[in-house]
Amino acid sequence: MRAICPMARRAPAAVLAVVGTPLWFGAPLPAAAQRADQTASGAPRPAAVAAGTAGLPRPLNAADAARLVRIFKAQAEGDLAAARGEHEALRDRRLDGHVLADRWLRPGAPPPAAEDLRAWIARYADHPDAPALHALLVRVSPGGAALPAAPAETALPEDGEAVPEEREAPASGFARNPALDRTVRERAFSGDTRGALDLIRRTRGMTPAYAAALRADIALAQFRRGEDTAAFRMASEVARSGRDRTGRAAFAAGLAAWGLGRYEVALPYFETAARAEGGSAAARASAAFWTARAAVRARRPQHYVPWMLRASQEPRTFHGLLARRALGLAPGFAWHGEAGAEHGVTALVETAGGWRALALLQIGQQGRAEAELRALWPAARGNAALLGAMLAVASRAGMTNLGAQLAGLAQGADGRPRDLARFPLPRLEPAQGFRVDPSLLYALARQESNFDPAAVSRAGARGLLQVMPATAAYVANDPSFRGEGAARLHDPGLSLEIGQRYLLYLATHDAVRGDLIRLLAAYNAGPGNLVRWLPVAAHRDDPFLFIESIPVEETRQHVQRVLAYSWIYASRLGLPSPSLEALVRGAFPRFLGAEEVLAQGARRSVALQ
């Protein structure tokens, strides 16, 4: 299968061919895949090839639009004389801030005079490049010079994932301190329970509700260390106190009791967690799912369907999707309509930043247009019309990362899903074709980079699938990836190919052996970390208990999200979800190649005829 695109859903699975060899290591990459057409860079991104976006307003007149295209082209080529000449003839000057910022911030550009930068900041402080130009002013100004205040950085960040189902409700009764949370969890998982408790006691301003939530975190850490008895003792005490409004203590008590084989004891704790008003929607769905399972183990099957139905009300979560499949319900996605279409773009045109975004799209400057839309985020909070207009423009302009973020934020604001934008379907084409389940590859790209080929993590992972350069060098047998060749990972086709090879390698690792849950954990945390965790978690012969035993929250969340996203994309692509079917049966899902998944789809199509 060379590529998957929106048309794939209408194509019979049997006619989709898989090409490429089944080897993961050392196979040569085609020359076309080795061109870094998209490289890592800071915002703004490179301009689009073709100017204008169909269906959106074009606020510039034709003459000025053509002149601005020539200006940006000349500046990209280093022909500043030509750019200045065109600029002098420009009539509509509302994009002057962008023209100058593009000129001054290009790599190797001569630094502007400090007075020019001061003038720019005084006039264009609302532009997305204002923080970068203020930093440039600081560098070129003499020591001790008076400087204007630094512009506030309030734009929506590119790596700001919006998962409305995972947001804790205001009823939790406290605001978390991320640094304190992290330290308490690290101490607890290292075995220093006393130190973690002492830190809670010594923290000034600690409220009973927050202290209860942190003690629940300690109990969860004990459970993930395999200390089920100690975990149950602490978690049940916190749960009985009534101070934990998030339900985490009750959930921890339920898990620990399940680990001890005391299902009738686990049942009421899971039920308490499922009813907790301060927990996130995803956490309540998870607890409801576990309540249904505990009811069966505790020989109270009459409670199974009601609790599974409650879990199924969150169909965009891991446990919600499992519940729907267990009950035989349709997935429940909204694969229709146009994202943000109910609002149009009028509200956007009425703002200065929105006008600039549309004008920049008209002349092909998509990266700068996206930066303007992100800068509008503070104004869009609480403004449904503006948020809807931003979502409509992002979706029509192909800004998949921004569109997915805005769709999640909009759902969090009004509760209405925007599945088309939140789970976009850009064309993915690995350099040597699909050899991995396409739904899984889409899910990984959605989770790892939100389909942003220019993404770079703080750890240095790059591209659509966030592959580390050292990993790429190993699986491609090409040491150049460790140096300047790392930029090639921003080529979408190459990133997908390297990611596939890494998945195929991990599937054969001794700690994975084809287990999809272990494979996804290893993809996120590395196979070495997986090996260190397995002695504690390996005795968990239940796949759901095994997932809950993963000690690192990021990795545990990664496994659940990628599995859920793979089922969502399977629904959109019209492909089977063998991992979902396996988990519903209570089995550990296996990693399957594209051929196996498509063969299952073909057999299912024949059976339904």
Over 70: is that where the pLDDT of 2 sits? Answer: no
Q: In this structure, are 91 and 216 located in the same domain?
A: no
- DSSP annotation string for 263-300: HHHHHHHHHHHHT-TTS-HHHHHHHHHHHHHHHHHTT-
Q: In this structure, are 525 and 555 located in the same domain?
A: yes
pLDDT of residue 19: 28
Is 434 among the domain residues?
yes
When divided into structural domains, the chain yields a total of: 4
Backbone angles phi, psi at 78, to 5 degrees: 80, 10
CB 567 within 8 A of CB 439: yes
Tokens of 561: 């999200």
Across residues 136-162, what is the average pLDDT?
A: 87
Is 293 among the domain residues?
no
pLDDT of residue 30: 46
Instruction: Please state, in angstroms and as integers, the Cα–Cα distance from residue 311 to each residue in 21, 101, 325, 411, following that order.
Output: 41, 50, 11, 18
Q: Using one digit for the tens of pLDDT, what is the confidence trace for 507-559?
A: 999 999 999 999 999 999 999 999 999 988 767 889 999 999 999 999 999 99
Range of weakest confidence among 228-237, 318-327, 420-429, 575-584: 420-429
- DSSP annotation string for 135-201: HHHHHHSPTT---PPPPP--SPPTT----GGGSPPGGG-S---HHHHHHHHHHHHTT-HHHHHHHHH
Question: What gap in Å lies between CA 578 and CA 333, rounded to an integer?
Answer: 19
pLDDT band at 205 (very low <50, low <70, confident <90, very high): very high
- Which CATH number belongs to the domain containing residue 471 in this structure? 1.10.530.10
Is 535 among the domain residues?
yes
Across residues 70-89, what is the average pLDDT?
A: 97
Question: What gap in Å lies between CA 115 and CA 99, rounded to an integer?
Answer: 17
Determine the 3-state secondary structure of 309 from DSSP: helix
Instruction: Please state, in angstroms and as integers, the Cα–Cα distance from residue 451 to each residue in 159, 354, 386, following that order.
Output: 11, 24, 24
Q: Which 8-state DSSP code applies to residue 27?
A: P
Q: In this structure, are 479 and 550 located in the same domain?
A: yes
pLDDT of residue 139: 94
Residue from 395, 502, 391 nearest 23 by CA: 502
pLDDT of residue 161: 64
pLDDT band at 47 (very low <50, low <70, confident <90, very high): very low
Residue from 351, 352, 462, 339 nearest 402 by CA: 339
The structure tokens 């084409």 sit at 429
Q: In this structure, are 182 and 134 located in the same domain?
A: no
Determine the 3-state secondary structure of 122 from DSSP: helix
Cα–chain center distance at 450:
5
Mention every residue, 6+ apart, whose C-beta is less than 8 A from residue 434: 1, 2, 3, 4, 18, 20, 441, 500, 594
pLDDT of residue 342: 53
pLDDT of residue 38: 33
Last residue of a domain, one of 249, 279, 309: 279
CB 455 within 8 A of CB 447: no
Compute the half-sphere exposure of residue 36: CA atoms within 13 Å on the CB side of its CA. 14
pLDDT of residue 190: 93
Last residue of a domain, one of 379, 400, 422: 422
Is 602 among the domain residues?
yes
Q: In this structure, are 133 and 243 located in the same domain?
A: no
Tokens of 489: 């990972």
pLDDT band at 164 (very low <50, low <70, confident <90, very high): confident
Question: What gap in Å lies between CA 576 and CA 236, rounded to an integer?
Answer: 41
Q: Using one digit for the tens of pLDDT, what is the confidence trace for 172-181?
A: 678 889 999 9
Q: In this structure, are 124 and 110 located in the same domain?
A: yes
Q: In this structure, are 88 and 189 located in the same domain?
A: no
Q: Name the region of 364 (left: φ>0; alpha: ψ -120 to 50; beta: rest).
A: left
Determine the 3-state secondary structure of 262 from DSSP: coil
Is 290 among the domain residues?
no
Over 60: is that where the pLDDT of 454 sits? Answer: yes
Last residue of a domain, one of 422, 452, 472: 422
Q: In this structure, are 372 and 388 located in the same domain?
A: yes
Q: In this structure, are 602 and 520 located in the same domain?
A: yes
Q: In this structure, are 406 and 434 located in the same domain?
A: no
User: pTM for the complete prediction?
Assistant: 0.85
Expressed in angstroms, the distance from the first to the final Cα of the chain is: 24
Across residues 94-110, what is the average pLDDT?
A: 96
Is 286 among the domain residues?
no
Over 50: is that where the pLDDT of 23 sits? Answer: no
CB 315 within 8 A of CB 324: yes
Question: What gap in Å lies between CA 161 and CA 141, rounded to an integer?
Answer: 37
Q: In this structure, are 132 and 189 located in the same domain?
A: no
- Which CATH number belongs to the domain containing residue 222 in this structure? 1.25.40.10
Is 161 among the domain residues?
no
Q: In this structure, are 511 and 599 located in the same domain?
A: yes
pLDDT of residue 40: 31
Mean pLDDT, the chain, as a whole number? 88
Across residues 195-209, what is the average pLDDT?
A: 95
Question: What gap in Å lies between CA 320 and CA 564, rounded to an integer?
Answer: 9
Which of the two residues, 243 and 170, has the higher pLDDT score? 243
3-state secondary structure 367-387: HHHHHHHHHCHHHHCCCHHHH
Q: Residue 181 belongs to what domain range? A: 177-279
Q: Using one digit for the tens of pLDDT, what is the confidence trace for 282-321?
A: 999 999 999 999 999 999 999 999 999 999 999 999 999 9
Question: What gap in Å lies between CA 484 and CA 201, rounded to an integer?
Answer: 50
Q: Please state, for a pLDDT cut of 70, what percent of the chain lies above it.
A: 88
Q: Using one digit for the tens of pLDDT, what is the confidence trace for 215-271?
A: 999 999 999 999 999 999 999 999 999 999 999 999 999 999 999 999 999 999 999
CB 333 within 8 A of CB 568: yes
The DSSP bridge partners found for residue 593 are 436
Is 241 among the domain residues?
yes
pLDDT band at 57 (very low <50, low <70, confident <90, very high): very high
Determine the 3-state secondary structure of 472 from DSSP: helix
CB 310 within 8 A of CB 296: no
Question: What gap in Å lies between CA 269 and CA 258, rounded to an integer?
Answer: 10
Residue from 282, 280, 285, 278 nearest 170 by CA: 278
